[in-house]
Structure 1
Amino acid sequence: MQVGANVAVVGAGWAGMAAAIAHTEAGHNVTVLEAARTLGGRARAVPGVLPDGAPATLDNGQHILIGAYTESLRLMRLVGVNPDAALLRLPLTLQFPNGQGLCLPDLPPPLDALLGIARAKGWSWADKLALLRTATAWQLRGFRCDPGTSVATLCAPLTPRLMAEFIDPLCVSALNTPATEASGQVFLRVLRDSLFSGRGGSNLLLPRVDLGRLFPQAAAQWLAQRGGQVLTGQRVQALQPLAGGRWGLDCKGDTGGTDNTSVPSAVFDHVTLACPSWEAARLVADVGQAPGAAHASTASAWAACAGALRFEAITTVYAHGPGVRLPQPMLALRSQPGQPAQFVFDRGQLDGQHGLLAFVVSASQGDRATTEQQVLQQATVQLGLPPLQPVQTVVEKRATFACTPGLRRPAMQVLPGLTACGDYVDGPYPATLEGAVLSGTAVVRSVGESATA
């Protein structure tokens, strides 16, 4: 693709904004088309109202970043976000309200893990030695295992306490998939890159601003300053392959909103699909089914692969209590029947919304009302808090793909002039913000490689 090409990026989530930045840096003219009115995709800000009627800024899910997310941090700095101010950096901590659990000290690896495990409260020496032996074995094997291995099988040598208090919460937070169903190989890759990527790689980075301000909104401003456009309320209805690898887009504007700017050009030299996998599968499948379509079998195969992905839900329950403050900004909770949340975050210690707590239920299965009531009761039982008032419960039914053993994920290159990016495309990471932005940044390299192949 020549410098100065007209590029459309379909979707303004984290992957889409990363792809738009990469295309812009490569010298292309970029137009981002977003069906919604809000930037950020599945990591975006949402408005809320506190019990007293005061407005609140929430997120559609409480996200955690880690120090090893080097591409996310690089992009934030590039678009003018200061990670040191926008993120609260803490040592890797998986501690429960009673203080039991793991907290790593600020030391270079592997000393931080060794000392953290040795000091872990509530773990017997049998627990600690089992974890050290197993982790050493993983390291000696290069953090590799058979692709068909589940996390539960991978961790079979560990004790029940370690599974319940360390592996299960770590797995569900990183992969959003229960350990019995989650990919052992992806789990090992996450452990390797977080615990052994250098000092601070395992640190927790908790957002101190809403997810829109953390990256996508600043990215849109960065693009606008360089001639790019981000158009919201523009849903791509269909893709039309044209001669020379160019593409036509059939868009439908949202006439119910305030931003009804029309797409400046319906024909592009290249299109990057940064929309959800099911939407990308729909668009590509339609291309493959068109009469006389070139590359029909390739398009159909890609769409089938993307469409076969299974998804896990995440529920975030926001609740408020006057004067409520947790002993730490984030605590692990004991998830069990009737008490589904695995973590709770004190938004007062993060973004100044005092008394506001965010409870996270990964791999959520219950309905909204039941989950909300169970979490509010869990807060009373496990945190010893007086009854909290519900603020808002957000259910992302397709928050992440189910990261299962041997999962086949669609490729980044779809057809000539058409690529895809997102946390679901083929790659080493689960559905995380870092996986999303890495795929977006890699789009330009993918285009260059396909052009010279």
Structure 2
Amino acid sequence: MSQRLAVIGAGWAGCAAAVQAVDEGFDVTLYEMASHLGGRARRVDIEGLALDNGQHILMGAYTECLRLMRQVGVRTTLDLLRTPLQLIHADGSGLRLGAGRAAPALLKAIAAQRGWTRGERLALLRQATLWTLRRFRCAPELTVAQLCANLPVRVRDELIDPLCAAALNTPAHRASAAVFLRVLRDTLGSGPGSSDLLLPRTHLSALFPDPAARWLERAGARVRRHHRVTALQRHAPHGWRVDGEAYDAVILACPPGEAARLCRPHAPAWAEQAESLSFEPIVTVYAHADGARLPQPMLALRSHDAAPAQYVFDRGQLNGPTGLLAFVISAASPWVSRGLEATAQAVCEQAHRELSRYLRPPLRVIRSIVEKRATFLCEPGLQRPSATIAPSLWAAGDHVNGPYPATLEGAVRAGVAAARLAAASLW
């Protein structure tokens, strides 16, 4: 008879844990308090359009995301637009990596960068070479700002700071340099295609959570929506009861506060550590301009005190109607404090300054979405909670201790790892 395993929370980590647990031979039940799966990367309906609660970029190095997507039937070659890494501004300046191995392509892209002086390009080339020679390692106490302090201001403003905000959702002066370099290592220091951008051509729920739910149900697993777990109790000798139902093992794939609520009577130290995490918001401003079409599906923007967005996505080139744009503000605490109306107004002004050749006024704001607890603040020396909570009780999520910041790949890897830990412990 199969061992029974409950996964509580059906975000990307929970869906990954459930799929992997079925592969490991468990009889799986997946609990989700909402009507939809996907957590902080899911579909939202805006004015009749199936869009997302935020923009998520995948990378070629996201091997576990891609593996599980394919396993549950996602057509990754069709549902993801794959291009070499390009961080291009509307005026054509920026980095354009060619095909092939990322590290040589990066050096060529830096050398060919438009808009920078020869000294600025050489400074970044020297720094990139130094990071490579040091195997993308640094002192754990360094911030990204300290790591890059000797780079020219323009290089930091136009490349490092927006890249850090996108990868870690943490301002450079607070972000962990060690984690930043680890991300660079895996995207630039791996094999061909690892640095490629993978832009979703469908809404995020269709990219993994919904196909995962269908796959699980076909495999005999149970997916219980609209069920917020209220009680987690010990069940002799080594199992657990989830709202009174007996299981041999449990994976808490819910947000850290919710996981802490459930496990506090059994693992108070773990609960305290989970609740000590600080979080940073991300804001997405959806706006529409008739007939607008950007030169790339994604453009970098010049962000500063009066210009909030770091990137804009042309959803008309992905999975939306022509003219629909999504402006992304990472590390958004300062703008959230100003209010969504002021933020949206600042985005419109920024768009008309930087994208005027592609926009015919007016630019109409459709909706601004703030994900208040989008990711944990990825600061130097951060102690994240362990995947092991108690006997037969594990945690999964992008907040769990691991090599990645709060990304889809980090969440999926944490889910897979928790299912494998459960299998190794029980068999």
TM over 0.5: yes
Residue number in structure 1 paired with 2:212: 219
Deviations 1:149-206 (A, max 9, x none): 1011111221111101110011000000011000000000000000111111111100
Residue number in structure 2 paired with 1:82: 75
Residue number in structure 2 paired with 1:272: 251
- Alpha-carbon distance in structure 1 between the residues aligned to 2:340 and 2:87: 26
- The one-letter code matched in structure 1 to 2:8 is V
- Give the superposition deviation at 1:352: 4.0
Contact 1:274 1:422 in 2 (8 A): yes
- Give the superposition deviation at 1:444: 2.5
Q: Check if 1:425 corresponds to 2:400.
A: yes
In the superposition, the TM-score normalised over structure 1's length comes to: 0.91
- Alpha-carbon distance in structure 2 between the residues aligned to 1:375 and 1:387: 13
Contact 2:88 2:96 in 1 (8 A): yes
Contact 1:380 1:387 in 2 (8 A): no
Q: Check if 1:59 corresponds to 2:52.
A: yes
Deviations 1:33-80 (A, max 9, x none): 00111110000000010xxxxx21110001100110011011110000
Residue number in structure 1 paired with 2:369: 394
- The one-letter code matched in structure 1 to 2:254 is C
Residue number in structure 2 paired with 1:255: none
Residue number in structure 2 paired with 1:282: 261
Greater shift, 385-394 or 12-21, is seen at 385-394
Residue number in structure 1 paired with 2:293: 325
Residue number in structure 1 paired with 2:94: 101
Residue number in structure 2 paired with 1:20: 18
Residue number in structure 2 paired with 1:359: 327
1:370 maps to which of 314, 317, 342? 342
Deviations 1:391-418 (A, max 9, x none): 1111000000000001000000100111
- Alpha-carbon distance in structure 2 between the residues aligned to 1:427 and 1:101: 31
- The one-letter code matched in structure 2 to 1:48 is I
What secondary structure sits across from 1:234 in the alignment? coil
Contact 1:151 1:181 in 2 (8 A): yes
- Alpha-carbon distance in structure 1 between the residues aligned to 2:125 and 2:426: 47
- Give the superposition deviation at 1:109: 3.3
Residue number in structure 2 paired with 1:47: 45
Q: What percent identity do the matched residue pairs reach?
A: 55
- Alpha-carbon distance in structure 1 between the residues aligned to 2:255 and 2:320: 32
What secondary structure sits across from 1:63 in the alignment? coil
Contact 2:285 2:326 in 1 (8 A): yes
Residue number in structure 2 paired with 1:256: none
Q: Check if 1:201 corresponds to 2:194.
A: yes
2:306 maps to which of 315, 323, 338? 338
- Give the superposition deviation at 1:448: 4.2
Contact 2:344 2:368 in 1 (8 A): yes
Q: Which consecutive unaligned segments of at least 5 residues does structure 2 have?
A: none
- The one-letter code matched in structure 2 to 1:349 is Q
- Alpha-carbon distance in structure 2 between the residues aligned to 1:313 and 1:161: 26
Deviations 1:105-163 (A, max 9, x none): 11323221111111111111111111111111111112111111101111122111110
1:243 maps to which of 229, 236, 250? 236
- Give the superposition deviation at 1:225: 0.6
Matching of residues 57-206 of structure 1 within 5 Å:
57-206=50-199
- The one-letter code matched in structure 1 to 2:395 is A
Deviations 1:356-403 (A, max 9, x none): 100000011222222112112211122113221111111000000000
- Give the superposition deviation at 1:336: 1.1
- Alpha-carbon distance in structure 2 between the residues aligned to 1:73 and 1:239: 33
- The one-letter code matched in structure 2 to 1:310 is S
- The one-letter code matched in structure 1 to 2:401 is D
Contact 2:8 2:250 in 1 (8 A): yes
Residue number in structure 1 paired with 2:389: 414
Deviations 1:299-330 (A, max 9, x none): 11101111000000000000111111111100
- Give the superposition deviation at 1:449: 4.6
Q: Give the alignment's Cα RMSD to 1 decimal.
A: 1.2
- Give the superposition deviation at 1:447: 2.4
Residue number in structure 2 paired with 1:439: 414
- Alpha-carbon distance in structure 1 between the residues aligned to 2:341 and 2:397: 31
Q: Check if 1:348 corresponds to 2:316.
A: yes
Pairs aligned (count): 420
